Amino acid sequence: MLKRRAGVIVLLICLASLGVNAQSQKWRSGIITDEFLYERAAFPSCHSATIAETPTGLVAAYFGGTKERHPDVEIYISRKVNGTWIAPVSVANGIQNDKLRLPTWNPVLYQVPGGDLLLFYKIGPKPSEWWGMMRTSKDGGITWSDAKKLPDGYIGPVKNKPVLLSNGNLFNPSSKEGDGWKVHFEVTKDNGQNWRTVGPIAGNGLDAIQPSILDHGKGKLQILARSKNRALVESWSADNGETWSPLAKTTLPNNNSGTDAVTMKDGRHVLVYNHVLPPGDLAKGPRTPLNVAISKDGKEWYAALILEDSPISQYSYPAVIQTADGMLHFIYTWRREKIKHVVVDPSKLKLKKIVNGVWPKLKGYTAPVITEVKNEE
Give the closest residue to 312 by CA, choosing from 253, 256, 255, 369: 369
At residue 360, the pLDDT reads: 95
Asked if the model's pLDDT at residue 111 lies above 70, the reply is yes
The rounded radius of gyration (Å) of the Cα atoms in the chain is: 21
Half-sphere exposure at residue 188, Cβ-oriented, CA atoms within 13 angstroms: 18
Asked if the model's pLDDT at residue 275 lies above 70, the reply is yes
Return the exposure string of 266-294: e unless at least 16 CB atoms fall within 10 Å of the residue's CB, then b.
eebbbbbbbbbbeeeeeebbbbbbbbbbb
Q: How far apart are CA 94 and CA 51, in angstroms?
A: 22
At residue 12, the pLDDT reads: 34
What integer is the mean pLDDT of 140-152? Answer: 98
DSSP state of 128: G
- DSSP H or E run through 33: strand 31-36
Percent of all residues in the chain with a pLDDT value above 90, rounded to a whole number:
87
What integer is the mean pLDDT of 279-305? Answer: 97
Asked if the model's pLDDT at residue 343 lies above 70, the reply is yes
Respond yes or no on whether the N-terminal peptide bond of residue 107 is cis (omega within 30° of 0). no
At residue 15, the pLDDT reads: 35
- Structural contact between residues 222 and 216, judged by C-beta atoms closer than 8 angstroms: yes
Asked if the model's pLDDT at residue 7 lies above 60, the reply is no
Report residue 358 CA to chain centroid gap.
Answer: 22
Q: What phi and psi, each to the nearest 5 degrees, are found at residue 22?
A: -65, -40
Percent of all residues in the chain with a pLDDT value above 70, rounded to a whole number:
89
Q: How far apart are CA 31 and CA 37, in angstroms?
A: 17
DSSP structure string for 86-136: PPPEEEE--B-SSS-B--EEEEEEEE-TTSPEEEEEEESSSGGG-EEEEEE
Please, what is the end-to-end C-alpha distance for the chain in angstroms?
49
Contacts of residue 27, defined as CB under 8 A and 6 or more positions apart, other chains included, come to 303, 304, 305, 306, 309, 362, 365
At residue 313, the pLDDT reads: 85
Give the closest residue to 184 by CA, choosing from 203, 197, 193: 197
Q: How far apart are CA 49 and CA 290, in angstroms?
A: 15
At residue 362, the pLDDT reads: 74
Per the prediction, the chain carries an average pLDDT of 92
What integer is the mean pLDDT of 258-264? Answer: 98
For 276-289, how does the pLDDT look when each residue is reduced to its tens digit (9 = 90+)?
999 999 999 999 99
Q: Which domains does the chain have, with CATH numbers?
A: 31-373 (2.120.10.10)
Asked if the model's pLDDT at residue 82 lies above 90, the reply is yes
Give the closest residue to 321 by CA, choosing from 29, 28, 51, 34: 51
Banded model confidence at residue 364, pLDDT cuts 50, 70, 90 = low
Q: How far apart are CA 329 and CA 318, in angstroms?
A: 10
At residue 139, the pLDDT reads: 98
3-state secondary structure 153-220: CCCCCCCCCCEECCCCCEEEEEEECCCCCEEEEEEECCCCCCCEEECCCCCCCCCEEEEEEEEEECCE
Q: What phi and psi, each to the nearest 5 degrees, are found at residue 305?
A: -150, 155
Q: What phi and psi, each to the nearest 5 degrees, are found at residue 326?
A: 90, -5
Asked if the model's pLDDT at residue 16 lies above 60, the reply is no
The model carries a pTM of 0.92
What integer is the mean pLDDT of 167-190? Answer: 96
Q: Which SS3 state, helix, strand or coil, does residue 119 take? A: strand
At residue 366, the pLDDT reads: 64
Banded model confidence at residue 19, pLDDT cuts 50, 70, 90 = very low
Where do the H-state alpha helices sit in the chain?
Answer: 2-24
For 200-259, how does the pLDDT look when each residue is reduced to its tens digit (9 = 90+)?
999 999 999 999 999 999 999 999 999 999 999 999 999 999 999 999 999 999 999 999
